[in-house]
Amino acid sequence: MRTRQLAAALIAMASLATPSMAGVDEPTAAPSTKPNVVLILVDDARVDDMSSIPQVTSLIGDKGATYVNTYSPFPLCCPARATILTGQYAHNHGVIDNEPPLGGFPAFDDSHTLATWLADDYTTGLIGKYLNAYKLPYRPPGWDHWMVPVGSLYDYRGALWNVDGVDRMLSGYRTHATGMLATQFIEAHADDPQPFLLYTAIVAPHVGTPVEPDDPNRIYSTTIFPTPNVSDIYRNTLGKVPNTDPSFNEADVSDKPVRPSPLAPWEIDALKEVNGQRREALLSAQNVVQDIVNTLRNTGELGNTYLIFVSDNGFILGDHRIRGGKVFPYEVSARVPMLIRGPGIPAGSVVNQTVGLQDLAPTILAMTDHTGANGRFPIDGVNILPMIGDPNLRASRPQVLEAGPKTPTTTAYRFHGVVAKVDGIRWKYTERDGGDKELYNLGNDPAELTNVAGQAAFASVQSRMRTILLAYEWCAGATCR
């Protein structure tokens, strides 16, 4: 490992250059060594956000596979990230909130993760956000390089980082700093005999500081429409962007457990600004992807590297009249973008099977020839690479959706749900802690506008979906697959 060279390069950085655009991409021939893995995680990105960052799709999805039905089983930052690292649903890894006592870093057992499973023969590195409530100087086991921001997780202008135990000032916008650290890591380890696993966690488009003069909360003197901070490069480049999802400001929510009032004109205007700033923040994330791909190409590692782009959860922006948030079972909250390219993946592949974040760990173990390295530690997910080119493989496997208790003094989960196929049609069934039930035909109602739970015509489907839910809501290991 070239730890000293990497540290020296990082210490020498005084400023961050504007990321360059990626050129025409021709993968190099893959060597005989085990492949590298670069996991790029964005924070709170919706599936429809991808329309504003087309280069990400061009560089990863179009050169590899797009998993169009990917879910965040517990659509909240910390539970989702714990699922990525362990391959377990939240009801098994026990992180069921962002903060203690129900969740956050103190609730996470980090003795069994991707990092520990690959530690013997992979150089591992994490850059950016780890888990909510994480505190320095602790470094979890298995990570050779540990580069995390110091201070608020969501301060886009925070320049202080802890790089392998040393505090360093990295001037500029945090997303750009994250990208620079990622490219430095790749350059430092490209010639190493060991392959590498690089986990790059980008803050965008999560809400964050500093607040700007044109933020809706300032303009309208409210607190319900926070925004991310946008880099000087992309500020106001997109303007106000309407939410075009059919569920936006839904006309009739009488069939829903939550029935907010219709959005007022000023709220619609505010949400356009929120959406615009979120997507402007993602443009900087797109630059990071471009720089990572360029660096892999320039170092000769691109043809032997798996690149994964995914979000930890989605985000609601006036959908179903809900002003904002993410801990909901609806598609805009629980469904996330995921693109994978790498050795052996045919360009332009599209996978329609339902998959989830719990599948990332076993898939990365398969990518790195470490299947079984988890030993007796039970993994709930599966390797999803074989689904490419085989639309029937696990086509009916159910996907769990869940959200833990609202408070430490309650035990009831906010909701338990499942996405599954009945007679070849994808359905979603959810039971809320208050007893409300929702059933949606995702085949002809992907925006979940019509809840058919309780309707006689769908009694048989609801009964079958409930049977599936009861079988899977507390599943563990093989019983989840």
What is the CATH classification number for the domain harbouring 101? 3.40.720.10
Torsion of CA 79, 81, 83, 89, to 10 degrees: 20
Average pLDDT score over the chain: 94
- Do 79 and 164 fall into the same domain? yes
* Structural domain contains residue 246: no
Is 418 within the bounds of a domain?
A: yes
Q: Tell whether 314 and 353 lie within a shared domain.
A: yes
The runs of H, that is alpha helices, within 190-305 are: 216-219, 265-298
What confidence tier does 36 reach under pLDDT thresholds 50, 70, 90? very high
Query: Given this model, what pLDDT does residue 4 score?
Result: 36
Instruction: Find residue 70's DSSP bridge partners.
Output: 336, 355
Looking at the domain assignment, is residue 22 inside a domain?
no
pTM value is 0.94
Question: Considering the domain boundaries, does residue 12 fall inside one?
Answer: no
Q: What is the mean pLDDT of residues 5-34?
A: 44
Among 156, 234, 135, CA closest to 202: 156
pLDDT at site 6? 41
- Range from 10-19, 46-55, 164-173, 418-427 carrying the lowest mean pLDDT: 10-19
What's the rounded Cα separation, in Å, for the pair 91 and 147?
29
264 assigned to some structural domain:
no
Residue 216: pLDDT over 80: yes
| Judgement on whether residues 375 and 434 belong to the same structural domain of the protein | no
Q: What is the mean pLDDT of residues 209-237?
A: 97
For residue 8, pLDDT over 50 is answered with no
What is the domain-level CATH number for residue 476?
3.30.1120
Count of CB atoms situated within 10 Å of the CB of 157: 13
Domain boundary among 365, 387, 409: 387
Burial of 361 (0-12, 13-18, 19+ CB in 10 A): buried
Identify whether residues 287 and 314 lie together within a single domain.
yes
pLDDT reported for residue 12: 40
pLDDT of 448 strictly over 60: yes
Distance CA 283, CA 451 (A): 36
Q: Tell me, yes or no, whether 304 and 420 share the same domain.
A: no
The pair phi, psi for residue 278, each rounded to 5°, is -60, -45
- Evaluate whether residue 266 is within a structural domain: no
- Give the pLDDT band of residue 219 (cuts 50, 70, 90): very high
pLDDT digits (tens, 9 = 90+) for 145-162: 999 999 999 999 999 999
Query: Residue 378 above 60 pLDDT?
Result: yes
- Specify the pLDDT at position 171: 84
Q: Are residues 335 and 467 in the same domain?
A: no
- Mean pLDDT calculated for residue range 318-328: 98
| Phi, psi (deg, nearest 5) at residue 33 | -75, 165
Say what the pLDDT of residue 201 is.
98
Residue 31 has pLDDT above 90, yes or no: no
Q: Please, which residues have CB within 8 angstroms of residue 160's CB and are 6 or more apart in sequence?
A: 149, 150, 151, 167, 168, 169, 170
Give the mean pLDDT of 289-295.
98
Section 234-263 average pLDDT: 98
195/290 same-domain check? yes
Domains held by the chain: number: 2
Query: How far lies 253's CA from each of 355, 435, 459, in Å?
Result: 28, 17, 21
Instruction: Tell me the C-alpha to C-alpha distance, in Å, between residue 199 and each of 15, 55, 63, 186.
Output: 23, 20, 20, 11
Structural domain includes residue 66: yes
Average pLDDT over residues 288-301: 98
pLDDT (mean) for 198-208: 98
Please tell me the distance from the alpha carbon of residue 407 to that of residue 347, in angstroms, as a whole number: 46
CA–CA separation, 234 and 282 (whole Å):
9
Q: Which domain holds residue 281?
A: 28-208+277-387
Beta bridge partners of 399: 419
Per-residue pLDDT for 19 more than 90?
no
Domain boundary among 387, 414, 436: 387
Collapsed DSSP state (helix, strand, coil) of residue 449? coil
What band does 424 get if pLDDT is binned at 50, 70 and 90?
A: very high
Asked which of 321, 353, 387 is the last residue of a domain, the reply is 387
Question: What is the predicted pLDDT for the residue at 33?
Answer: 85
194 & 61 share domain: yes
Answer yes or no: do 75 and 154 share one domain. Answer: yes
Same domain, 188 and 314: yes
Based on the domain organization, do 332 and 452 belong to the same domain?
A: no
In a domain, 20, yes or no: no
Residue 232 banded pLDDT, cuts 50, 70, 90: very high
Distance CA 399, CA 464 (A): 15
Mean of pLDDT values over 166-170:
96
Q: Residue 326 — φ and ψ, nearest 5°?
A: -145, -15
CA angle at 353 for the pair 350 and 355, rounded to the nearest 5°: 105
Query: Are residues 303 and 180 both part of a single domain?
Result: yes
